[in-house]
């Protein structure tokens, strides 16, 4: 009788293990795929299409349509740096999930007939020059308020991009230092508790 109970419990354990492995495989854990900026499309429509095709949504046993959304890592330094650098302009849209910041039209006070709009598109959450795209649009209005919008290609694009990258590196360095300091404090507390 005890041998029969041992065999049944062993079989239940094996069946549970097989079912668990099958369910974990349907979650996509064994399907890890590294992503890089070079392999991702640049234009927004192609990005959305690729995300929809490769989305990692919840599915039961691999069935159903997968969702596809692009999300940055937790408290991304590039995002925080861009918000920090662009604090002088009003923002009309800031989509963390889509990785885009669009400012409202901004005038520098010299001319009321000229306005600028800054768009920052994040292509990666890594602090890299090719992980970020900055575009500046200039609106020029005539005296009768007929306006023309053109994309401005100047050093200002590069200056804003470099300022964001530099600030992101500073934030990352500060976060690492803060984490190390907190870790040291925690270890000191543990050591003083052991001494007591």
Q: Is residue 113 part of a domain?
A: yes
* pLDDT-derived band at 151, boundaries 50, 70, 90: very high
Q: Is residue 49 part of a domain?
A: no
Q: Is residue 55 part of a domain?
A: no
Report whether 92 contacts 110 (CB < 8 A): no
Q: What is the pLDDT of residues 87-129, one digit of tens each?
A: 989 999 988 878 899 999 988 777 778 899 999 998 887 888 8
Q: Is residue 9 part of a domain?
A: no
Q: Is residue 35 part of a domain?
A: no
* pLDDT-derived band at 6, boundaries 50, 70, 90: low
Say if residue 111 is exposed, middle or buried (CB neighbours under 10 Å; 0-12, 13-18, 19+): exposed
Q: Which residue matches tokens 């918000």?
A: 83
Q: Is residue 191 part of a domain?
A: yes
pTM summary value = 0.55
Q: Is residue 184 part of a domain?
A: yes
Q: Is residue 99 part of a domain?
A: yes
Report whether 138 contacts 114 (CB < 8 A): yes
The whole domain housing 128 covers 77-195
Q: What is the pLDDT of residues 30-69, one digit of tens each?
A: 555 666 666 666 676 676 666 666 654 334 444 444 444 4
């Amino acid at each position: 009788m005890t041998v029969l109970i041992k065999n049944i419990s062993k079989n239940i354990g094996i069946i549970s293990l097989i079912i668990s492995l099958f369910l974990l495989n349907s979650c996509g854990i064994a399907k890890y795929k590294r992503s890089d900026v070079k392999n991702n499309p640049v234009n927004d429509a192609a990005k959305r299409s690729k995300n929809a095709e490769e989305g990692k949504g919840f599915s039961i046993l691999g069935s159903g349509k997968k969702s596809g959304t692009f999300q940055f890592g937790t408290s991304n330094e590039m995002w925080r740096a861009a918000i920090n650098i662009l604090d002088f302009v009003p923002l009309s849209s800031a989509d963390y999930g889509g990785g885009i910041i669009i400012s409202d039209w901004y005038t520098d006070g010299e001319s009321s007939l000229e306005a600028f709009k800054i768009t920052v598109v994040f292509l990666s959450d890594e602090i890299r020059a090719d992980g970020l795209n900055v575009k500046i649009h200039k609106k020029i209005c005539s005296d009768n308020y007929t306006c023309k919008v053109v994309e401005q290609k100047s050093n200002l694009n590069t200056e804003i991009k470099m300022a964001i990258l530099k600030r992101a590196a500073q934030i990352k360095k500060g976060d690492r230092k803060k984490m190390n300091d907190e870790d040291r404090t925690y270890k000191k507390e543990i050591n003083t508790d052991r001494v007591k």
